[in-house]
Amino acid sequence: MPSHCHRGGPAGNGLCCIAPPYLLEQLAESGDENQQKAAERALASLSVVRARRAVTAQLIADPKVDVKALGLVAQGTGSAIKVYDAHGLPFNSFELPGNLLLSTDNPPPGPDTQANQAFDGARATLEFYSEILNRDGIDGKGMDVISSVHVSDQQGNPWENAAWISTQMVYGEGGHIFKSGSLTSALDVIGHELTHGVTQFTAALEYRSQSGALNESMSDVVGSMIKQFVGKETAATADWLIGEGLLLKPGSKALRSMLEPGTAYDGDPQPGKMNDYHELPETEAGDNGGVHINSGIPNRAFALAAIKLGGNSWDEAGRIWYKTLTEKLRPDAQFADAAKATLEVAEELFPGGRASAAVEEAWKEVEVLP
C-alpha cells in the first residue's frame, strides 16, 4: 500500500462529536424528561456540526486556499494553546472563539475550572504528540490549538457534547446527559477530538462505514494512550475506557470500552469482532454506516496488540498505528487495509517478526484477518 498523506478532505464531513448518536437516541427514547429533551437537542445539533465541518474541511483541502490567511487554521509556529469563554455562544457561531481566558503566555491556574481543564488537556495532547510521536502539533506545522468552553446549542441551552470543528475545540456544559462541567475533565476525550484534527490533515479518512469507523478508532487509540501516558499506566494495567465516569446514565462505566466493546453501559451496541459487525445505512440516522458503533472492532484490535506487545501502549503498538494513520492509509481505507498496513509498519519499525506477529494475532482475534 503506497504512502499517502493529505491536507484535509472527506474527513471533514463527519460528526466528530464525543457523544455518539446511538447513545443520544437511546436517551431520547428512554431517559427522564430532561434527558430526553437534552438528547433531542444534541441530536439536532449533529447535522449543524457536520455542515460547518464539511465547508471548512473542503477549504482546508484545497491547496489553492491560504487557510491561515483566512483564519481557518490558527497562526502559530509552536502550537500555542488558547482557551476562550464563549459565554453561551452556540457551538456553530461564527463569533467564536469568544473572550480569551488562558494562553501559553498566561497559563493555568485561572478562576474557570473548565478553561483550566481544556488548557491542560490540550497541553497533554500536544506533549504526547511531540515527545512520543515526534509530531509538531495538530497539522504537523505547529498550528495554535484553540478551545472554547461554555458553548450552548442552537437554542441557547447548555450543549451536551464536545467536538473538533475543523478549526478549534468546542465544549458544552452538559448537565443532563453528561455530568455538569465534565466534558473538559477527561484527557482521553480531549485527545480523541484533537486527533480528529490530525486525521483531517493526514489520512483524511472518509466519515462513512469502515473508513469512518477507522477515523473514530484512531481518535480513541490516541486518546487512550494520552490518558495512559499521563496516568503512567501500562497496556496491561490500563482500563481501556473512553470517557470514564462522564455519563449520568445509571450503571454506565464510560462512553466506550476499547478492550471489551459493548460493556460500557446497558445497551452499548459496539461489537468486538467482525461476526457482529453492524450493517447500517450511510445516513445520519444510520450513524454514517455505523462509524461510532463498528469502531469497537479496530479499537479492540489495538488494545489486544498493545497488551500482547507489553510495556506501554505507545512503545510499539502506538507507533505502529500512528505511522499507519499518517503515512499508509487512503481516505477510503477498510478494516482489512488498516490491518495489512499495520503489519507492514510493524515490520518496518520493529523487524524480526515479534511485533508483526502480535499485531496479526490481534486482527485475527477480532476476525478482520482470516
Based on the fold, state whether residues 189 and 319 are members of the same structural domain: no
Based on the fold, state whether residues 38 and 101 are members of the same structural domain: yes
pLDDT at 284: 79
What is the domain-level CATH number for residue 23? Answer: 3.10.170.10
Based on the fold, state whether residues 251 and 132 are members of the same structural domain: no
pLDDT at 58: 64
Based on the fold, state whether residues 355 and 230 are members of the same structural domain: yes
pLDDT tens per residue across span 58-97:
666 667 766 566 655 555 567 899 999 999 999 888 899 9
Based on the fold, state whether residues 261 and 116 are members of the same structural domain: no
- Contact (CB, 8 A) for 301 and 339: yes
| DSSP β-bridge partners for residue 146 | 82
Q: What is the helix (H) or strand (E) element at residue 114, kind and residue range?
A: helix 113-131
C-alpha cell at 11: 474527513
Based on the fold, state whether residues 190 and 63 are members of the same structural domain: yes
Please tell me the number of Cα atoms within 13 Å of 221 on its side-chain side: 33
Name the DSSP class of 67. Answer: T
pLDDT at 354: 97
Based on the fold, state whether residues 168 and 21 are members of the same structural domain: yes
In a domain, 241, yes or no: yes
**Could you say which residues of the chain have pLDDT below 70?**
1-16, 47-62, 65-77
Active site residue 292: yes
Based on the fold, state whether residues 63 and 190 are members of the same structural domain: yes
- Other beta carbons less than 10 A from residue 289's beta carbon: 21
- Contact (CB, 8 A) for 271 and 278: yes
**Prediction pTM value:** 0.90
User: Packing angle between helix 187-201 and helix 113-131, nearest 10 degrees?
Assistant: 50
Catalytic residue among 196, 216, 292, 316: 292
Instruction: For residue 324, give every residue at least 6 positions away whose Cβ sits within 8 Å of its Cβ, in sequence order, or none.
Output: 338, 341, 342, 345
Based on the fold, state whether residues 24 and 171 are members of the same structural domain: yes
pLDDT at 3: 34
Number of structural domains in the chain:
2
Name the DSSP class of 178. Answer: B
In a domain, 370, yes or no: no
Active site residue 233: no
Report the alpha-carbon distance of residue 338 to residue 120 in Å, rounded: 31
pLDDT at 45: 73
pLDDT at 51: 58
85 three-class SS: strand
In a domain, 5, yes or no: no
Based on the fold, state whether residues 213 and 188 are members of the same structural domain: no
Catalytic residue among 160, 173, 193, 244: 193
Residue 246, domain extent: 209-365
Instruction: For residue 138, give every residue at least 6 positions away whose Cβ sits within 8 Å of its Cβ, in sequence order, or none.
Output: 79, 129, 145, 194, 197, 198, 201
- Contact (CB, 8 A) for 290 and 209: yes
Based on the fold, state whether residues 197 and 217 are members of the same structural domain: no
Report the alpha-carbon distance of residue 121 to residue 111 in Å, rounded: 17
pLDDT at 285: 79
